[in-house]
Amino acid sequence: MSTLDTSSTGLQALLSPRTVRSTVLPVVRQQVSALEPTLARICSYHLGFIDEHGDPTGAGSGKLTRAALMTAAAEGVGLRPEDVQSQAAALELLHNSTLIHDDIIDADELRRGRPAAWKVFGASLAILAGDALQALSLQVVVDDPGPGRAEISSAFAEALRLVLAGQSRELTVRLGPGAGIAEYDRIVEEKTSALLECALVTPALRAGKPEHVLAALRGAGRHLGLAFQISNDVEDIWGDPAVTGKPVRGDIGRRNPSFPVLAALSADSPVSERLRELWHGDGTAAAHLQEMADLTEEAGGRHTAEKLSRGHLGSALEHLGRAELSPAASAELTALFDRIVNRTA
């Protein structure tokens, strides 16, 4: 095995988006193509490999954020990208299964700027496609013969369990001011942070790192998930659909838990009272949602959310600094964390 170049220049070459894609996407394509043909077609469409007619698109699979995190963390513990190739692909499969299901649950008609899978193939088949990606993800991890297989398989199963718990909690818990913030954090830790923790911890499990390193990486993933989700909530209300690929204000239209709104509702002011009236109503017209957005900002919800997101990002970086990774990998992960939270290029 050749020596790994751990200089900043060498690591940037190893972890460039093109390199991550060339390492992970062939595994994703191969695994998906082996599914039952109808499910393979739906999953390939969702992943961006084909269009609705089955013709190749030359694109695919989004930004591979979780694969990039795992690959960078692998270098940080002395591994090469190939050492976690299967696991990185499996995590992308698992992540995409949640996106297919989320779009159905939320009735979101767009994903990455084009019709969501359920709009093209129907909800029933799309549900099965999401289930198939979950099963495939776990199979890929279990079938890999490398070191730490049992521990990594357990980490993936736990991540899936938490994601499903968070999704259920989001649908059944109606958040209000005050106590709603704690419940919001729990939902995010399950739905979002769990997969990011899995991405960061998996290479350390493969390398046999001690518990204090695993704990630091879990902490980094937890706070990164919170920073990202809060920032994403802000983007849902005030972002540009051309950037997000989804309609604006979808969460407040569905009354989904949204941190800026929760923060605004927690304020004691006439503005918050008016927002509370609208929040508990059933209005979904554009003017209604615009008023809710304006009231949320006026009550300080946007400012509070943006400040807290920055705070969680800082905490994620503090935990990362305790993970004893190589300096080059730590620098790369620091840049990745910033891109994830702030959507920088």
Q: How large is the average pLDDT for residues 59-82?
A: 91
pLDDT over threshold 80, residue 57: yes
Phi, then psi, of 56 in degrees rounded to 5 = -60, 145
Mean pLDDT of 191-220: 98
pLDDT tens by residue, 239-289: 888 776 677 898 888 888 789 999 999 888 999 999 999 988 888 899 999
Q: Average pLDDT in the 31-37 region?
A: 98
pLDDT value of position 242: 76
Question: In this predicted structure, what is the pLDDT of residue 1?
Answer: 29
Average pLDDT, the chain: 91
Lowest-pLDDT range of 113-122, 145-154, 242-251, 255-264? 242-251
Statement: residue 23 has pLDDT above 50: yes
Question: In this predicted structure, what is the pLDDT of residue 113?
Answer: 85
The string of DSSP codes covering 157-198 is HHHHHHHHHHHHHHHH----TTHHHHHHHHHHIIIIIHHHHH
Q: What is the mean pLDDT of residues 205-210?
A: 98
- Residue 98: its pLDDT value, please? 97
In this model, does residue 4 exceed pLDDT 60? no
Lowest mean pLDDT among 103-112, 168-177, 229-238, 309-318: 168-177
Contacts of 280 (CB under 8 A, 6+ apart): none
How many CB atoms are located within 10 Å of the residue 240 CB? 8
Q: What pLDDT does residue 344 have?
A: 60
List, as own/partner pairs, every contact residues 282-288 make where C-beta atoms lie below 8 angstroms and the sequence separation is at least 24, other chains included: 284/253
Question: Does the pLDDT of residue 39 top 80, yes or no?
Answer: yes
From CA 213, how far away is CA 319, in angstroms rounded? 9
- For residues 20 and 298, the model is more confident at 298
- Whole-Å CA distances, 61 to 52, 112, 136, 323: 15, 10, 16, 29
Q: For residues 105-125, give the mean pLDDT.
A: 94
Which range (33-37, 70-74, 126-130, 244-248) has the least confidence? 244-248
Q: Is the pLDDT of residue 187 over 90?
A: yes
Question: Is 9-342 a domain of CATH 1.10.600.10?
Answer: yes
Is the pLDDT at 3 greater than 50? The verdict is: no
CA atoms in the 13 A half-sphere facing the CB of 100: 32
CB atoms within 10 A of CB 3: 6
Give me the residue spans of the domains in the chain. 9-342
Mean pLDDT of 6-27: 66
Please, which pLDDT band fits residue 177 given cuts at 50, 70 and 90? low
What pLDDT is attached to residue 176?
A: 60
Provide mean pLDDT across the span 177-183.
Answer: 74
Tell me the mean pLDDT in the region 123-138.
98
The pLDDT of residue 76 is 98
Q: Which residues pair with 114 in a beta bridge?
A: 111
Check residue 2 and report its DSSP letter: P
